[in-house]
Structure 1
Amino acid sequence: MKIAASDHETTVTARGTRGPAVVLVHSLGLDRRMWDPVLDRLAEGRRVFAYDVRGHGSAAEAPLPFTMAATAADLLAVLDALEVGAAHVAGLSLGGAIAQTAAVAAPGRFASLAVLAAPDRPAPEAFEERARLAETAGMTPLIEPTLQRWFTPDALAADTGGVRYARECLASFDPPTWASIWRGYGGLDVYERLRGFPAPALALAGEADASIPVDGMAAIAGRISGEGAKFEVVAGAPHIQTLERPDAVADALARFLPAEIDIP
């Protein structure tokens, strides 16, 4: 379904008809379909929503420049459009950074926060290099290095459905938009700002993540909420966890998220 998100429209995929609301925020370069492998499992006793972040998918024409503040406002606008006061929000990579940014801005809108393979501070030199390469050479030279950061060698060799989907997304991405997103991502400003986060939190690391290693995610977990977030490692998972280890990711999120259970 189409909904308004601040200054543009986006599309939301919905699963489930009852239970607490769960909103999923995807990674940079992909779209809401990144969450498809886990939707049905998470929708057992929950209402689950995945939307396209500005600059991606159905929201590709959203106004630029891309900023983290704008993406946080978009997430809150999605909650408003869905008529959800407070949601359980989970984000992967850029999606986790967006979720953290919104949680700093409006903690009362969060029933819980799950951060999957997401930083809490930027890497300005690397982000700028990716932006500049897209501007000067287009997307082609970025595709294989990006896939190598996102997937395990076995998945790349097998050319799995997840790898093919990601490659198609990258190949079709607009280079100026890609550059704007990476530069906006460089404005991430949540480090040490979620110490007092009042809701439950989970940090989920991929054992085989080449972008954010396990010890890095463990440190991030310690900086969320007063006592630190719950921390789990998904065995064998690379950076884009849902496209290689969807069952394990769904199980970890399902353990963390409350659900409306039928009582016989």
Structure 2
Amino acid sequence: MQRLTVDAAGVRTSLIDTGRGRPTILVHGTSSSAETGWAPILARLAEGRRCLVPDLAGSGLSVDDGSALTLERLVGQVEAVAALAEGEALDLVGYSLGGVVAAAAAARLAGQVRRLVVLGGWAATDLRMRVQFDLWQALARTDRTQLARLLLLNGVSERFFAASDPSLVETVLARFATGLAPGSDRQAALDAIVDIRACLPAVRAATLVIGLAQDRLVPPGHCRALAQAVPGARYEEIDCGHLVMLEQPERLLERIERHLEERHD
């Protein structure tokens, strides 16, 4: 595993480069990073493929000017990472906001992206989601401990709480609070205005959209709508909340690997 840096779209993008094989770009979600966002499954995904995992602007070790984030800027980061593949066909996997970015990048890189997985992503932010992301922004600026509580409450299923003891929950909350990306407020501001509906018909990659059946952050209806807008996309669900890496990492890994490895005619 090594760290690389690429400059594009006004961002000095830091990324993890690990594994050998077909290039696969993994795009994390809001408040996360390359290091934390894919940690539960990255080592397994890197067995037999080259995983390129960027820190989006506002996260990890990437550096930008601190201005309001745009989808264009984040897609530009993914394009810069894709250039490391030197024209080789690649796969894209994105989670939450990273799923939005990955889908938009797949439309832009239609001739290079072979497979696309969108996990807990959406095509356009509605009023309920906008209210949620406005609260997320405010807490990111004023009280990150309470933001961590909000994310856990809305991010996992009731089954997770029923199966967990209080010490585990407190450990998760502490990890969330200390691990929130410094640019969480800027990322949530972008979440609040997402609309990629116009570009989705341009996606040519074999696409799997995964919804989370008990997701209260991005309700699965939004994932279904995204899948319907991408030509030939397949839709599946995993029975958990939005924080699938916490609740169902093994099942998620199986779905991603199956899609990346199976033959698509």
**TM-score in terms of structure 1 length:** 0.83
Offset at residue 3 of structure 1 (A): 1.2
* Counterparts of 1:52 and 1:72, CA distance in 2: 12
* Counterparts of 1:88 and 1:247, CA distance in 2: 20
Is 2:182 the partner of 1:180?
A: no
Moved more, 245-254 or 193-202: 193-202
Question: Which of 228, 237, 240 lines up with 1:233 in the alignment?
Answer: 237
**4+ runs of 1 displaced by more than 6 Å?**
none
Is 2:60 the partner of 1:54?
A: no
Q: Residue type of the partner of 2:151?
A: T
* Counterparts of 1:66 and 1:15, CA distance in 2: 27
* Counterparts of 2:229 and 2:52, CA distance in 1: 27
Q: Deviations over 1:123-154 (max 9, x none)?
A: 4343334324444x343332211221222345
> Residues 156-235 of structure 1: matches in 2 within 5 Å?
157-158=164-165, 159=168, 164-170=174-180, 173-174=181-182, 177-225=183-231, 227=232, 229-235=233-239
Q: Which residue of 1 is the match for residue 112 of structure 2?
A: 109
- Closer, same or farther in 2 for the Cα pair 1:22/1:240, shift >3 Å? same
8 Å contact kept, 2:106–2:205: no
Q: Which residue of 2 is the match for residue 251 of structure 1?
A: 254
Offset at residue 103 of structure 1 (A): 2.4
Q: Secondary structure at the match of 2:41?
A: helix
The Cα RMSD (Å) is 2.5
Q: Which residue of 1 is the match for residue 245 of structure 2?
A: 242
Q: Residue type of the partner of 1:150?
A: G
Question: Which of 64, 69, 75 lines up with 1:66 in the alignment?
Answer: 69
Q: Deviations over 1:12-69 (max 9, x none)?
A: 2233222x21110111011112212212332232222222111011126554221111
* Counterparts of 1:179 and 1:42, CA distance in 2: 30
Q: Residue type of the partner of 1:182?
A: A
* Counterparts of 1:60 and 1:3, CA distance in 2: 10
Q: Which residue of 2 is the match for residue 35 of structure 1?
A: 38
Q: Residue type of the partner of 2:24?
A: V
Question: Which of 76, 84, 91 lines up with 1:88 in the alignment?
Answer: 91
Q: Residue type of the partner of 1:230?
A: R
Q: Which residue of 2 is the match for residue 262 of structure 1?
A: none
Q: Secondary structure at the match of 2:255?
A: helix
8 Å contact kept, 1:54–1:62: no
* Counterparts of 2:11 and 2:42, CA distance in 1: 25
Aligned length: 250
Unpaired segments of 5 or more residues in structure 2?
none
* Counterparts of 2:220 and 2:125, CA distance in 1: 17
